[in-house]
Amino acid sequence: MEKIAIVGFGFMGRLHYGNWKRIPGARVVAICDANLAQFRDVSDGNIAGVDASTDFTGIDLYDDMGKMLAAGGFDVVDVTLPTPLHPEATVAALKAGCHVLCEKPMALDVASCDRMLAAAKRARRTLLVGHCLRFWPEYAALKKLIDSGKYGKVVAAEFSRVTPPPDGKGTHGWFFDEKKSGGCLLDLHIHDADMVRFLFGPPKGTDAVVHRRAGGLLDHAQVRYAYPDKVVTATASWAVSKTHGFEASFRVVLEDATVVFDAKRAAPFMVYPQKGKPYAPKVSARSAYEAEQRYFLDVVRGRAVKPILSARDARDAVALVKSLV
């Protein structure tokens, strides 16, 4: 049985909380949020499935992480704080002897990521960062398909991740401050940047054209990752209209098939072979976030799992995004 403490009970904290409740052998025993109103209110976000319950029977509630760590009684700290707080909270939890699952992006800069990696090594504890896309059924299936070689080499890949700007309501004001969120590249595009590394390895070079809204926040970008044998591009936006909504998609052109994912299409995930009929591959229905949290616990427990994600990958994703602008 792993006892879990969550720090930051906003949008992602609630999402993780709901998942921990479904995972055998995991029990949330403590939650910390500096804003006690978070234990009453449901925060905003763009993902379904957030736990809205406010029955915290058997869970110790805190408004200060230092007090929570001093009280102890848990093996895992799940860091779902705003990004600038990730390094400090992660290092403190590791020093307290806990394993840490930290939300993405790992940190705002590479030096902070390196501090987190060093703290995990010193403490001999597991540190992973929530790159949920590696567990997203369609992206995981794409990786398998590419690695199988069934449809030949990749010719081109384009990724898109766009959402209306965070509405600034509730706790979400910090997203508008690029010094705190990193803008749409570090906060949003990092998912696709990490996926590009996961699928194709580190690129030989990068470039990006970006738009900044009045006030300076980076809210739209077109990115190119240079590889000698394929064209890899991505779009990231916090500028699309509210009526457009969130959209994540990819189109990967292989020599012998084109693979498309777009959650808004009637058939979201399709393979279009050069020969034969298009088909919709079957994928797992499990939430990527839950799969990621299960994977983290498997690593903590020392189970022999196929390596999918490491803290070093998360650090390298931050480095890649920081190379763009």
Query: Of the candidates 93, 96, 243, 83, which has an alpha carbon nearest to the alpha carbon of residue 172?
Result: 83
Residue 104 near ligand NAD by CB under 6 A: yes
Note the Cα 76 to chain centre separation in Å. 18
Judged by CB under 6 A, does residue 222 bind ligand NAD?
Answer: no
Number of residues that bind ligand NAD (CB under 6 A): 27
Does 80 engage in binding with ligand NAD (CB under 6 A)?
Answer: yes
Q: How many whole angstroms separate alpha carbon 263 and alpha carbon 106?
A: 26
Residues 14-53 as x/- pattern, contact with ligand NAD by CB under 6 A: ------------------xxxx--x----x-x--------
* Nearer residue to ligand NAD within complex by CB, 192 or 254: 192
What's the rounded Cα separation, in Å, for the pair 267 and 264? 8
Q: How far is the CB of 118 from ligand NAD (least distance, A)?
A: 21
65 is a site residue for ligand NAD (CB under 6 A): yes
First-to-last C-alpha distance (Å) of the chain: 44
Element spanning 190, H or E: helix 190-200
**Rounded alpha-carbon distances, angstroms, from residue 100 to 24, 31, 36:** 18, 14, 23
- H or E segment to which residue 79 belongs: strand 76-79
Strands across the sheet with 26-32, in order?
60-62, 26-32, 2-7, 76-79, 99-103, 127-130
Considering beta carbons, is residue 115 or 224 the nearer one to ligand NAD?
Answer: 115
Whose structure tokens read 């209306």?
Answer: 164
Is the bond preceding 281 in cis, omega lying within 30 degrees of 0? Answer: no
Residue 8 in contact with ligand NAD, rule: CB under 6 A: yes
287 binds ligand NAD (CB under 6 A): no
Question: Closest distance between ligand NAD and the C-beta of residue 289, in Å?
Answer: 7
Min dist. Cβ of residue 185 to ligand NAD (A): 12
Q: How far is the CB of 47 from ligand NAD (least distance, A)?
A: 6
Q: Does 313 bind ligand NAD (CB under 6 A)?
A: no
* Shortest distance in whole angstroms from residue 287 CB to ligand NAD: 11
Contacts to ligand NAD by CB under 6 A? 7-13, 32-35, 38, 43, 45, 65, 80-83, 85, 103-104, 130, 132, 171-172, 187
